[in-house]
Amino acid sequence: MTKRVVLAYSGGVDTTACIPYLRHEMGADFIVAMAADLGQGDELEPIRQKALDAGADVSVVVDAKERFVTEFGFPAVRANALYDGQYPLSSALGRPLIGELLVETAHAYECDAVAHGCTGKGNDQVRLDLTVALLDSSLEIMAPAREWSFSRSETIAYSEKYGIEPHVTKEKPWAIDLNILGRNVEAGLIEDLTWEPTEEVWSLTTAPEAAPDAPVHVTVGFRSGTPVSVDGEQLAPLDLLARLNTLAGAHGYGRIDMLENRVVGVKSRELYEAPGMLLLIRAHQELENLTLPADVLNQKRPLEAVYSKAVYDGLWHGPLLAALNAFVGATQTTVTGEITLKLYKGGVSVAARTAERSLYRHELVTYGSDCTFDQSSAEGFIDIFSLPGRVWNKVNG
Ligand code: ARG
């Protein structure tokens, strides 16, 4: 029986070495390399060719940018998803999509296995494996980099043995993962918790101290919780996010330096730049504050943390997220309106809020003479509201 495998391919040293490794050490007869374009900005035709040069039988590139933003990025905004309260899951959200694409490609090329180049220490292997297991449990999962114990130079030597030119660019003192939702930098120098990142670590954001001296206002429009416009101009999802990444990044907004609790039990230090996603979430939270009643907000906020953890853990296709998405979806029908944010030297503040279905009623809250709030009901309300406490005190002294 021939073994047909589709490999998630990035063009990097490790996934390239996976191609001969799958064939010569793991028994693959037919290898499809699949590169997903999630907006990482790489030129993909050379990457497609590189997989063929390394021995893949077929090499495909899938443009999944729009799908990434609409099916993953914007739902995460509706959920205000921030893992550990900070990280907008830019890398994490990419993996269930890559997993979906692996399964779709496996079906298209009649493969019986999928493969990836993740090591055994990170979150990404968990997310990819879980996604494939939940979408098509009949597919075998092959992870060469979890099996080999190559050092960097051994990986290169192994590739060279099979005629693969290493193409090693000058090695950076850290590892980068980039897509349209954000950029992650980890490992190397960043592992030293006392090392303060130097400017060369960052690439999507200007240093706050070097950002323009004049603030900028930006108005984000939402329809039922989904971002639809910037400064009154309707934009396609991808353009909208790209526009906000550039604008907010230029004002030094969107940097995160955090300690992160990985699925595999270790703490790691991670740097992120996600100006557009963080801006969208900030605006969306504010629009919810204006359009959702307090009791709904009080239930939704803690569930957002549950949602974020489930995404982080790779459970995108599991029943918990399906249930949470149903809840989030039910809360979003009235979340339509515009929020203006002011960006200034790395900071953001809310400058204006408008919504057709605003629950902020001026006539109820104003101290002016036109107030319709009936103060005469307050005394009786407080009497009953204080009743349980008064009973408690009477019984317990
Ligand atoms: N630690 C982050 C996360 O788990 C980023 C992972 C980035 N992946 C990578 N292969 N560098 O979401």
* DSSP string computed for 270-316: EEEE-HHHHHHHHHHHHHHHHHS-HHHHHHHHHHHHHHHHHHHTT-T
pLDDT of residue 394: 98
Residue 36 labeled ligand binder: yes
Tell whether domain 4-161 is in CATH 3.90.70.10.
no
Please report the atom of ligand 1 found closest to the CA of residue 262: 4
**What are residue 273's phi and psi, to 5 degrees?**
-130, 120
Ligand 1 center to 355 CA (angstroms): 37
Q: Is 124 in the pocket of ligand 1 (CB under 6 A)?
A: yes
- Taken in order 202, 203, 205, 207, the sign of the CA dihedral is positive
Q: Is 90 in the pocket of ligand 1 (CB under 6 A)?
A: no
DSSP class of 12: S
Decide the pairing of beta strands 337-344 and 255-261: unpaired
pLDDT of residue 169: 64
Residue 314: C-alpha distances to residues 49, 77, 154, 307 (Å): 30, 17, 30, 11
pLDDT of residue 132: 98
CATH number for the segment(s) 175-355: 3.90.1260.10
N-terminal to C-terminal alpha carbon distance within the chain: 80
Domain chopping of the chain, boundaries: 4-161, 175-355, 366-396
Q: Is 184 in the pocket of ligand 1 (CB under 6 A)?
A: yes
Q: 175-355: same fold as 4-161?
A: no
Residue 194 labeled ligand binder: no
CA atoms within 13 A on the CB side of 393: 5
pLDDT of residue 42: 86
Q: Is 92 in the pocket of ligand 1 (CB under 6 A)?
A: yes
pLDDT of residue 173: 85
Ligand 1 center to 198 CA (angstroms): 20
- Closest Cα to residue 121, out of 302, 264, 321, 286? 264
Nearest residue CA, atom 12 of ligand 1?
Answer: 92
**What are residue 99's phi and psi, to 5 degrees?**
-60, -45
DSSP class of 366: -
Mutate to test the pocket of ligand 1, among 84, 130, 186, 311 (most ligand atoms within 8 A of CB): 186
Residue 117 labeled ligand binder: yes
For the whole model, what pTM was predicted? 0.96
Q: Give the strands of the sheet with 337-344, arranged side by side.
A: 233-234, 226-230, 216-223, 337-344, 347-354
Q: Under 8 Å CB-to-CB from 29, ≥6 apart: which residues?
A: 2, 3, 4, 23
Please, is 333 exposed, middle or buried when counting C-beta atoms within 10 Å of its C-beta (0-12, 13-18, 19+)? exposed
Ligand 1 center to 91 CA (angstroms): 6
Ligand 1 center to 272 CA (angstroms): 10
- Closest Cα to residue 281, out of 306, 254, 302? 254
Q: Is 206 in the pocket of ligand 1 (CB under 6 A)?
A: no
Please report the atom of ligand 1 found closest to the CA of residue 123: 4
Please report the atom of ligand 1 found closest to the CA of residue 92: 12
Cα–chain center distance at 197 = 22
- Closest Cα to residue 221, out of 240, 201, 246? 240
Residue 92: C-alpha distances to residues 72, 87, 181, 254, 301 (Å): 10, 10, 10, 17, 20
| Assigned token pair, 374 | 């009936």
Distance, in Å, from the CA atom of 345 to the CA atom of 210, rounded to the nearest integer, reads 8
Please report the atom of ligand 1 found closest to the CA of residue 175: 11
Nearest residue CA, atom 4 of ligand 1?
Answer: 123
Write down the residue that tokens 């001026």 correspond to: 362
Ligand 1 center to 209 CA (angstroms): 28
pLDDT of residue 165: 84
| Assigned token pair, 162 | 């099979």
Ligand 1 center to 339 CA (angstroms): 31
Nearest residue CA, atom 11 of ligand 1?
Answer: 177
Nearest residue CA, atom 8 of ligand 1?
Answer: 177
DSSP class of 117: -
Ligand 1 center to 295 CA (angstroms): 35
- Taken in order 144, 145, 146, 150, the sign of the CA dihedral is positive
> pLDDT in tens for each of the 397 residues of the chain?
799 999 999 999 999 999 999 999 999 999 999 999 999 988 999 999 999 999 999 999 999 999 999 999 999 999 999 999 999 999 999 999 999 999 999 999 999 999 999 999 899 999 999 999 999 999 999 999 999 999 988 999 999 999 998 766 667 789 999 999 999 999 999 999 999 999 999 999 999 999 999 999 999 999 999 999 999 999 999 999 999 999 999 999 999 999 999 999 999 999 999 999 999 999 999 999 999 999 999 999 999 999 999 999 999 999 999 999 999 999 999 999 999 999 999 999 999 999 999 999 999 999 998 899 999 999 999 999 999 999 999 999 9
Ligand 1 center to 378 CA (angstroms): 53
pLDDT of residue 209: 97
Distance, in Å, from the CA atom of 234 to the CA atom of 171, rounded to the nearest integer, reads 41
Segments of the chain assigned E as strands:
4-8, 30-37, 58-63, 113-115, 140-142, 175-179, 182-186, 216-223, 226-230, 233-234, 255-261, 267-273, 337-344, 347-354
Nearest residue CA, atom 5 of ligand 1?
Answer: 91
Q: Is 91 in the pocket of ligand 1 (CB under 6 A)?
A: yes
Residue 196 labeled ligand binder: no
Ligand 1 center to 128 CA (angstroms): 12
